[in-house]
Structure formats: C-alpha cells, structure tokens
Amino acid sequence: MRRTQLFATFTLKTVAVTVIALTLVASCSAASQETILHSFQLGGDGTGPQSAGVIADAQGNLYGVTMGGGANALGAVFELSPQQNGTWTETLLYSFLNNGVDGASPVGSLILDTQGNLYGATAQGGSADDGTVYELTPSRSGPWKETILHDFNCHTSKDGCRPDSSLIFDQAGNLYGETAIGACTQGGGIDCGTIFDLSPSAGSWTETIIHRFRGGLTAKGGSAPGSGMIWDKDGSLYGVCSTGGPWGWGLVWELDPGKNGKWQETVLWEFGPAVNNPPRGGGPDSSLVMDNAGNLYGVTPYGGGGPGGGGVVYELSPGSKGWKETVLHKFFESKTDSDGMYANSLAIDATGNLYGTAYAGGGVGEPRCPDWFMGCGVVFELTPASEGKWKETILHRFKNDSGDGDGGEPWPDRLLLDSDGNIYGTTQRGGDANSGTVFEIKR
C-alpha cells in the first residue's frame, strides 16, 4: 500500500491531516462525472482561484482563496458548504484590503489547525507590498478575524518576499513556506528565493530564513521556488525550483535539518539537457508527492520532446548512486492527440495511482482558452501497468463554456481526493462569468 504526503507527515498537529486522510483512497474504475460546485461571479465574489486548490474540514466544508475579487477586488478567502439538496453555498470569509498592513493577492492552498483557524500567504500587500503570512480566526457570530503573522520586506532587509505557495506546519506548530524572491547566495541578485520558518512565541511569530537559493546557471544553482513543500518521515523538506540548474530548466531539492538550526540542501535532480523542449521535462512549478517507499513524483509544464513541449509526469527514485528519474508520461506527443498540456498539479492515492491537472489541451476548441485550438485543460489519471509502463486516462476535458458553466484552465496548486475517490480542484477561468470555478470529479 502506498500513501500520500501531500501536505506533510508533520501536520499531525493540524486538521490539515484530515485532508491528507481524504487522499488515502483506492482508485475506482467507474466512469467520471464533473460537477461545478461554484462559479465565481463578478461584483463582490472572488475571481480567479489561480495557483490555489481547496482543502476540507471534518464536516466536509471546502476552503480556498482567489487572487482577485472580493469586496475590494484584491482577493478573498471563501468557504463552500454542502447542502442537503446537493448544492453548495459559498460564504466569503475575508476580503483583503492592501492598506499598508493587510495583504493582497492570496496564493496557494490554505491550511487548518485543530482550532479551526486558517493560515495562508499573500503575494502582495503589507507595509512594503512584498506579501504577508496571515491567520484567520472564526468567531461564533460575525466576520472572521485576520492577524498578520509576518510582513515581508526584502528591500531594506535580508528577508525574502513575494511568497507564492502553500504553507505547511511541523509537529511543533511552526509554519514553513517559500518566497519567490530573496537575496541570492551567488551574484548578489534578489530573484533567487528563500525557505522560511515562522515560530510562535508569546503571542507573536518570529521568522527565520532557513535557506537561500543560489541562483544562476550552475550545477547547484536553483531559483524561483514556490511550488509548495512536503516532509518525509525523518523531517526533511522536499520541493522544486522552476529555474536554475546547469541548463536553466530547474531542479528538485531536499533540505535536511542539521545541528544548531542549520539546514543542508541537496540537489536531487536537474532538468535538461536542452536549450529548448528538454525531453525529460523542464520548469517544474508544482508540489511533489511521495509514496510509502520514499519515491517522489511530480509534473513539469514544459518539455517532453513532443510538439509544443507539453510537459511530463516523472518519478524520482533514491538509490546508492543518487536519484534516478523515470518519465512516466509525456503530454501531447503528437498534434492529433487530445491529451493535456502544461501539467500543474499532482496527487496520489493509496494504491499508487496518480491524478493531476493540465492547464491546456484536451482537444475541445474554445477561443477563450490558452492555445485554444488544443483545448481548455484536463483532469488526468495515471495507473501503473505491466513492465513499468503507466496508462493515462483523461477523466475530464474542460470546455470553458458559459453555456453549461464548465470551467477552463485548471490551475490548482494541488488536488484534493475524498474517501470515495472523488477529486476536487479549481479552474482560473470558465464558469458562468468566466471568473473561475470549484469543481468535483465523481469517481
């Protein structure tokens, strides 16, 4: 049996472990059916849930963020609650202000603690407009209360800025995250990115930068993290950089906790080699998943060698001579395919089947889609077959059609699987107002 570590082994302190438990399900072979749970509207509703999926609480309510919309058109936090008649009711829990203190443009999936508090990050806002980490606390009646836990500023300090992915907890309740920008260890630039730790103490939170990426076209120079991280059972962190490495196509890294608070980075894999369309994938910018044997799985939006370089699904396996990459699937290998393109999320179930989304492709022509002649995106499944081969099944092809409310351009940073094997995610376009959707794929 395999298990996912979609968020973290160390999230046992939090209700986010409920979300992990929801992913430990067997695959179903029944036909898939999509349902749009919510179409975001103009005029006060959230819009464009880009790079953000949904999470669930113990009661089955879904929570997420949108980069735009809300009462101030600066992004919002929403809740979707299931009703007895099968519909879902949306409640906007918070609209961001960007008033010199508050954040704007929330990114990544939220996380929950045991008290029902929500945590997340914004890519903008705060005193320097460099982003924030925030907490939302529910009240028995009335609006949720926001608390800014950290205000990023990399213009006058050595801080990182522009966090652009989901946060994770460790067992002690500390928060960890990534910033896309931060001082490089090579060349003096500021566009390399950081890994940070926020620790609670006496009612406040203290930030520690545990790693700064090197940057540049070097064998060990990753930059632009921001996919979200995962833990292993030994307390090491894993993630990706979308650029850097010897060919500029990014890499996969591991951070091991050391003595005296010093973390050691190991580069596990470098994407390339090629100037264009690397055959083994390139530009990874979504979270990894790990199976029970310690193998890592991920997707890249680019490369693969096919027409247009539609990306790959890959596996990294540890061995005595380092990590070995195996390409499990290449997207859009021929121009006649109706396969997806530009994969951007991945999840794993208890039997080792993989599920993900691709931003484009699917073969349903719609002028409002990216590369519209190739389609508006897909939800896919990969199942292991004989002799190391993997079989792809397209579970849904998005139409981005306001006539039937379907979404388009799926862009969750991660997918949610429930105990019945149903899949939940978001699209940044489509729906009744072309402002994005939350969808369910029934299995």
In a domain, 186, yes or no: yes
279 falls within a domain? yes
For residue 258, the model assigns a pLDDT of 80
Tell me the pLDDT tens digit for each residue of 48-61.
998 899 999 999 99
The lowest-confidence range among 22-26, 98-102, 278-282, 295-299 is 22-26
List, for residues 241-257, the tens digit of each pLDDT value.
Answer: 999 888 889 999 999 99
Kindly tell me if the per-residue pLDDT of 2 is higher than 50: no
Residue 3 counted as domain residue: no
Number of domains in the chain: 1
Stretch 101-119: mean pLDDT: 96
- Taking 70 as the threshold, does the pLDDT of residue 131 lie above it? yes
- pTM of this prediction exceeds 0.85: yes
DSSP secondary-structure letter at 188?
T
Higher pLDDT, 259 or 81: 81
What is the per-residue pLDDT for 16?
A: 37
pLDDT tier at 74, thresholds 50, 70, 90: very high
Confirm whether 20 is domain-assigned.
Answer: yes
- Whether residue 111 is contained in a domain is answered as yes
Whether residue 152 is contained in a domain is answered as yes
Per-residue model confidence (pLDDT) at position 202: 87
Q: For residue 35, what are the β-bridge partners?
A: 440
- CATH code where residue 430 lies: 2.120.10.30
Query: Closest Cα partner for 223 from 285, 168, 136, 175?
Result: 285
> CA–CA separation, 337 vs 256, rounded Å?
42
Lookup: tokens for 329: 């699937």
**Under 8 Å between Cβ of 300 and 284:** yes
Please give the residue range of the domain that contains residue 84: 9-442
In a domain? residue 4 = no
In a domain, 321, yes or no: yes
pLDDT of 235 above 60: yes
Q: Which residues contact 68 (CB under 8 A, 6 or more apart)?
A: 46, 47, 48, 74, 75, 105
- pLDDT tens track for 168-218: 999 999 999 999 888 665 555 557 899 999 999 888 999 999 999 987 666
Mean pLDDT, residues 328-339:
81
Helix, strand, coil in percent for the chain, rounding step 5: 5, 45, 50
- Please give the pLDDT value at position 173: 95
User: Could you tell me which residue, 371 or 175, shows the higher pLDDT?
Assistant: 175
Query: In this predicted model, which residue has the larger pLDDT, 157 or 412?
Result: 412
Q: What is the pLDDT of residue 107?
A: 94
| Three-class DSSP category at 259 | helix
pLDDT tens for residues 276-319? Answer: 888 899 999 999 999 999 999 999 999 997 776 889 999 999 99
Q: State both tokens at 400.
A: 């981005």
The whole-number pLDDT of residue 158 equals: 83
User: Which 3 state secondary structure label does DSSP give 195?
Assistant: strand
